[in-house]
Amino acid sequence: MAKKNQSIYPFKIIEPKFTLESKLHIDNFFKLYKDFRGYRSALGFLFYFIEKYDIKNLTMEDFNFINELIEEENTKSKKGTFIKTFFEYLYAYDIINDTRFDDIWIKADKKNYFDKKIYGVKENKIVVETSHEPKKKIIDFGKLNDIEDLVKQTVERKNIVRCFVAWYLLFETNLLPVYIREIKRDSYTEKGVLDSEGNEIVLPENCQEFWYEYHKRNKNGFGDLDKCIKNLGNMVGLDNLTPTEIKNTRDAVRIVCFNCEQAYKNNFENWVSVNGRIVCKKCSEELKKNTKYSIDEIEQEQIESNEPKTNLSAIYTFEQLKKKYLKTDYLSRHKKQIEIGDLGEAFVFDREFEKLKNTDYCYMLESKSDDETNGYDILSFELDGTEIFIEVKTSENVGLPFYISEHERKVAEKLINEGKRYSIYRVENILADCSDDVIVTIINNIFDSSKYKFETYQWRVGII
């Protein structure tokens, strides 16, 4: 976009060029402000440089471009604020459709703000969504349970604790993703972070030990917020979980108490039934004092999720998992097999994590064993970023043949034919008292017939 003389940009010259629809939207926007002259001249400036007269075509690039221009101008006018408000308005009502704005704003918040201006609705009341609005992506019931269980766990993997912290800040607080990403280390405290008004947000206990160490380090920000969240999603089998999805879920699970107009999560323990009407716990304490009201327990139904398979190796270190498992003395043979398999996977995951811990790839290291159709257990990387598809084969003993399924064999064949790295990590002596005695043999090409032979007993593989 070429630069122009920045001294004149009167709105009335541009106005006739707008499409009819754009004119209506702009008029509606001006109606929100008693003194809209500031907005008129700001929009004159905007469209003089952007030259788009159908406003639904405005994009994130336009928004950034105009902000840069204003910064260069270096005047003290409110032009920037006015233009930002205009974009927020277009975003709130889906007049523009650039989803990248989701990263810096929360639609529900912006819409509430403008609804309040238009209809005088109180900001924290639930606003009924109009039907043309696309349904927001939220986390489903089962996965939300899984995540909430997961983030309560005590874990030693620092990159995982960081994911828990990211979840907490997004789901349990009002902090916006854009604030969290750019949070400066001056805003880190020993136990948590400061919000934009300087109030301390204290993190849950299982995160604090890690946080205490982290806050002392000379590092800003949560620039990797999106990565942390994607990683957290992967741990419960959700692909591409985003901060926006978490914020949408936070909005969706909050109910406003009609009595005090405060919003609380819809968890059972936050609500009490008084004369058959639910109110927040705090209000119920007040209402209790009046003996004519009867307070009831809300009945609780517990739905057991059907054994969601979380990727244990991604969460627990080998040593933690070993402690967890070895508590039980008598296990069925089948269950013991599964646990031995999990331990082997955790062992390999630890090694890969250690190898990658100073690179960005450690966030991409992923356990894939929750879904058997994958045909491998871990997606790892070389230091240069080359993918390694790892199938872990674990045993308590040493020197015995191992088995691979027909599906695993096919996946191996396919990946190797595509020139990818598929490796079997043969882990033996997994229950050794000292983890130094665990033996790991890496088989890079299982089809190398000079070293390995397939026996057609469910593809029993013996090392020659």
Residue 283 beta carbon to Zn ion: minimum distance, rounded to whole angstroms: 3
Of 260 and 400, CB closest to Zn ion: 260
Longest Cα–Cα distance of the chain, Å, equals 86
How near is the Cβ of 277 to Zn ion at its closest, in Å?
A: 11
**What's the Rg (C-alpha) of the chain?**
28
| Nearest distance, CB of residue 253 and Zn ion, angstroms | 17
At its nearest, how many Å lie between Zn ion and the CB of residue 426?
60
Is 462:428 a contact under the CB 8 Å cutoff?
A: no
Give 240 or 275: the residue with its C-beta nearer to Zn ion: 275
Contact 346, 312 (CB under 8 A): yes
**Beta strands, E only, 93-209:** 192-194, 200-202
Q: Are 215 and 190 in contact (CB under 8 A)?
A: yes
Euclidean distance between CA atoms 89 and 110, whole angstroms: 7
Nearest approach in angstroms of CB 246 to Zn ion is 25
- What are 174's two structure tokens? 């009002």
Binding site for Zn ion (CB under 5 A): 257, 259-260, 280, 283
Q: Which is nearer to Zn ion, 99 or 124 (CB)?
A: 124
In the complex, least distance from residue 264 CB atom to Zn ion, rounded to whole angstroms: 8
CB of 148 closer than 8 Å to CB of 259? no
Roughly what angle, to the nearest 10 degrees, separates helices 60-73 and 79-92? Answer: 170
Distance of closest approach, residue 20 Cβ to Zn ion, in angstroms: 46
Query: Of the two residues 43 and 257, which places its CB atom closer to Zn ion in the complex?
Result: 257
Q: Which is nearer to Zn ion, 283 or 312 (CB)?
A: 283
Q: Nearer to Zn ion by C-beta: 165 or 280?
A: 280
What DSSP element (H or E) covers 141?
Answer: helix 141-150
E strands of 286-419, at which residues? 295-296, 366-367, 378-381, 387-394, 402-403
In this complex, which beta carbon is closest to Zn ion, that of residue 235 or of residue 257?
257
CA distances from 271 to 125, 173, 263, 299, 375 (A): 17, 19, 11, 11, 46
CB of 121 to Zn ion, least distance (A): 19
Closest listed residue to residue 391, CA positions, set 350, 362, 357, 349: 349
Residue closer to Zn ion (CB basis): 231 or 284: 284
In this structure, the number of other CB atoms found within 10 A of the CB of residue 362 comes to: 19
